[in-house]
A and B are shown apart, each in its own frame.
Chain A
Amino acid sequence: MTFFLIASAVKVFVVFNLIMVGVALLTLAERRICAWMQDRLGPNRVGPQGLLQPAADGLKNFLKEETSPALADKTLFTLAPLISFVPALLTFAVIPFAAPLPTPWGPVAMVVADLPVGFLYILAISSLGVYGIVLAGWSSNNKYSLLGGLRATAQMISYEISLGMSTVAVLLLAGNVTLSQVIAQQQQGAWFVVSLTLAFIIFMISALAETNRLPFDLPEAEGELIAGYHTEYSAMKFSMFYIAEYSNMVTASALMATLFFGGWDIPFTSWDQTGEPSVLKTVATLAAFLAKTGFFLFTYIWIRWTLPRFRYDQLMALGWKVLLPLSLGYLAVIATAIWYLHAQLGWTYGTPFALALGAVNLVLVVLLVWWLDRGRLVSGSMAEEAA
């Protein structure tokens, strides 16, 4: 018990700090990658390749003046950044990030808390984050902030449904909501991205919307809402929203890697998950996990600097008219397929099982692409044809 407590405390400390450093580097990565995409160099002055830029930014934010609008609701105004900041960091707790580490007192699972309800915990906590945004918008006593908060609410609720639906497919296949079991299942056959491609696509789009990233950053929408829900915030309070956004990105990327890309699994070898745990295995699997997460983080940035922002009605149309029916229909198809393979043919999850589901997915994806590729999909208020 003592060992468990100490190990947990150490893990909490290490993971918290790693995420904070990761978030800091991510802000730099965002600015540099954006610059490269625009044929610029980006911030490269503070430290080698600009690596100390986040530290300079942080220092600046600490020293800036804290402004507080005269008519703002002081309590909520101060509380809101915390409410969006804390859940963003909490969600990472259940994501396994490496193979167990051997210690003289027995192997230690490389996850802060291997909760049996892991995935449900993530859904519950991540939906708390929206309260921070809504309360920030409300308590600022500013119409733009309020509009940003309103948009955030509607957007989060709309996309949480398709996000949940797409992961139900994962849970159906894994038969478990513990994330370490989800990973173990993927290690037996192929990664779930093969067997649940469409769920991955839906999850990815919904995750973009859930983390308020472009092309779905309507709560901020600087073109129309100044800075949306954090218009009235300055200094460290603003910085906390910023950190919350980026740690949400980290969590969403880690979740995509875990649910669909095998988590810390190293592909094409079973060396990493069988036999005695060793330090080498832990390090190698951690590297694999970081590589996968890093890839999704890059994709986030890449998408942000490519696509323009959606119009609000387009966002809603995509969420309710496309993603929701799509995920529901997909769930029905995939549940039937799993039932058929499981109950009728008596297969258990393995490579043939994954490939069979993959074939189903291939057909569905081809159909989806064919259907999407007709021009003017998310047209919203656009009239079809003038008579």
Chain B
Amino acid sequence: MAIGVKVLKRPTRETSYLRATLKGMALTFSHLWRPKVTMQYPEEKSSKDWTISSRWRGTHRMLTDEQGRAKCVACGLCPQICPANCIKLVPGEDEDGHRYPLIYEIDEFRCVFCGYCQEVCPEEAIHVGVHYENSEYSRDRFVYDLERLCAQTHPVSTLWDPSDPKGE
């Protein structure tokens, strides 16, 4: 005994390997019959224990007006605020002086899904969405053009509301 390790005297029921072993065996056996927590993912995407949050920031979605045109007015705020610099916007103007995006592309690979674009948008046009299954066979497919952004149908993110921080 080189170093002064303090060994506590404990009652047998706390130090008995035998009882601990039997207790452990009983515990594992009882777990055999308990309900399982596994969610069988592709078939089952939410359970009573877990659903995706309505504040989830995923694949972008561009909302459209009644005529099916993108609500975007090409103000340029979203490419300005985007910290990842993933939004490409080339503005255009029609005969009536309405501005609209000639090119609107979001590179989902560069995007950090901060949701600033949705927050900053004055027209509530661009949104991050409650959606997470993005797989493609080619890398170019991850640059979403305007048409594809408009065609998304998933719900849009509610983002975090400072007046209701817990989402109640």
Task: Give chain A's interface residues, CB within 8 Å of chain B.
Answer: 33, 35-41, 302-303, 305-307, 369, 372-378, 383-387
Q: Is the CB of B38 within 8 A of A302?
A: no
CB pair A302 B25 closer than 8 Å? yes
Of the listed stretches B16-24, B77-85, B106-114, chain A binds B16-24
Contact B32 A375, beta carbon cutoff 8 Å: no
Does B36 make an interface contact (CB < 8 A)?
Answer: yes
Given contacts A36-B36, A37-B31, A40-B37, contact A386 B25 (CB under 8 A): no
**In whole angstroms, how far apart are the Cα atoms of A33 and B28 in the complex?**
10
Range of interface residues on chain B?
20 to 34
User: Is residue B48 within 8 Å, beta carbon to beta carbon, of the partner chain?
Assistant: no
From B7, B14, B15, B34, contact of A385 by CB (8 A): B7
CB pair A386 B17 closer than 8 Å: no
> A365 CB to closest chain B CB, in angstroms?
12
Which residues of chain B have a CB within 8 Å of any CB of chain A?
Answer: 1, 4-7, 10, 12, 14-19, 21, 24-25, 27-29, 31-32, 34-38, 40
A383 with B28, Cβ < 8 A, contacts A41-B36, A372-B18 known: no
What A residues does B17 contact at CB under 8 A? 372, 375-378
With the chains together, A38 CA to B27 CA distance in Å? Answer: 11
Least distance between B68 CB and chain A CB atoms (Å): 42
- The 5 A-B pairs with the shortest beta carbon distances in the complex, nearest first, are A375-B15, A41-B38, A306-B28, A37-B28, A306-B24
Q: Which residue of B lies closest to A384 (CB)?
A: B7
Alpha-carbon gap, A383 to B8, bound state (A): 12
B38 touches A40 (CB 8 A): yes
Q: Do A374 and B12 touch (CB < 8 A)?
A: yes
- Assess the A40–B5 pair: CB atoms within 8 A: no
Query: Per a CB cutoff under 8 Å, which of B12, B16, B29 touches A302?
Result: B29
Report B-chain residues with C-beta under 8 Å of the C-beta of A376.
15, 17
Q: What's the nearest-Cβ distance from chain A to residue B77, in Å?
A: 47
Report 21 cross-chain contacts, Cβ distance below 8 Å, ordered by A residue: A36-B31, A36-B36, A37-B31, A39-B34, A39-B38, A40-B36, A41-B40, A302-B29, A303-B25, A305-B28, A306-B21, A306-B24, A306-B27, A373-B12, A373-B18, A374-B16, A375-B12, A375-B14, A383-B5, A386-B4, A386-B7
Within the complex, the shortest CB–CB distance from B152 to chain A, in Å, comes to 30
A303 to B21, CA, bound (A): 9
Bound CA span A307–B28, Å: 10
Check A387/B1 contact, CB under 8 A, given A39-B34, A372-B18: yes
Q: What's the least CB distance linking B61 to chain A, in Å?
A: 32
The 8 Å CB contact of B1, one of A33, A35, A383, is A383
**CB-CB < 8 A to A307: which residues of B?**
21, 24
Instruction: Please determine whether A375 and B10 come into contact, CB atoms closer than 8 angstroms.
Output: yes
Docked pose: A383 CA to B34 CA in angstroms: 41
Residue among B16, B27, B31, B40 making CB contact with A375, cutoff 8 Å? B16
Pairwise interchain contact B28-A386, C-beta atoms closer than 8 A: no
B32 A33 Cβ-Cβ under 8 A:
yes
Residues of A within 8 Å of B18, CB to CB, are 369, 372-373, 377
Q: Which residue of B lies closest to A387 (CB)?
A: B1
Q: Which residues of B contact A374 (CB under 8 A)?
A: 12, 16
Known: A33-B32, A40-B38, A41-B40. 7 other contacts (CB 8 A): A36-B36, A37-B28, A37-B32, A375-B10, A375-B16, A383-B1, A386-B1
Name the residue on B nearest A382 (C-beta): B7
Asked if B16 and A39 sit within 8 Å, CB to CB, the answer is no
CB proximity of A157 to chain B, nearest CB, Å: 24
Neighbouring A residues of B29 by C-beta, 8 Å: 37, 302
Q: Which residues of A contact B4 (CB under 8 A)?
A: 386
Once the chains are docked, how many angstroms separate the CA of A40 from the CA of B32?
A: 9
CB of B104 to closest CB in A, whole Å: 41
| Residues on B with beta carbons closer than 8 Å to the beta carbon of A385 | 7
Q: Which residue of A lies closest to B35 (CB)?
A: A39
**Residues of chain A with a CB closer than 8 A to B37's CB:** 39-40
Most-contacted residue by chain B among A305, A373, A377 (CB, 10 A): A373
A118 vs B82: C-alpha distance when bound (angstroms):
78
**Cβ of A167 to closest chain B Cβ, rounded Å:** 24
Closest to A368 in B: B18
Alpha-carbon distance between A35 and B34 when the two chains are bound, in angstroms: 11
Chain B positions within 8 Å of A372 at CB level: 16-18
How distant is B92 from chain A, measured CB to nearest CB, in Å? 50
How many angstroms between the C-alpha atoms of A36 and B38 in the bound complex? 10
- Tell me the bound Cα distance from A376 to B13 in angstroms: 11
Chain A residue contacts of B19, Cβ below 8 A = 373
CA gap between A373 and B16 in the complex, in Å: 5
Residue of A nearest to B33 (CB): A36
B36 pairs with A383, CB closer than 8 A: no
User: Closest Cβ of chain A: how far from B55's Cβ, in Å?
Assistant: 28
Contacts of B40 in A (CB 8 A): 41
- Nearest A-chain residue to B1, judged by Cβ: A383
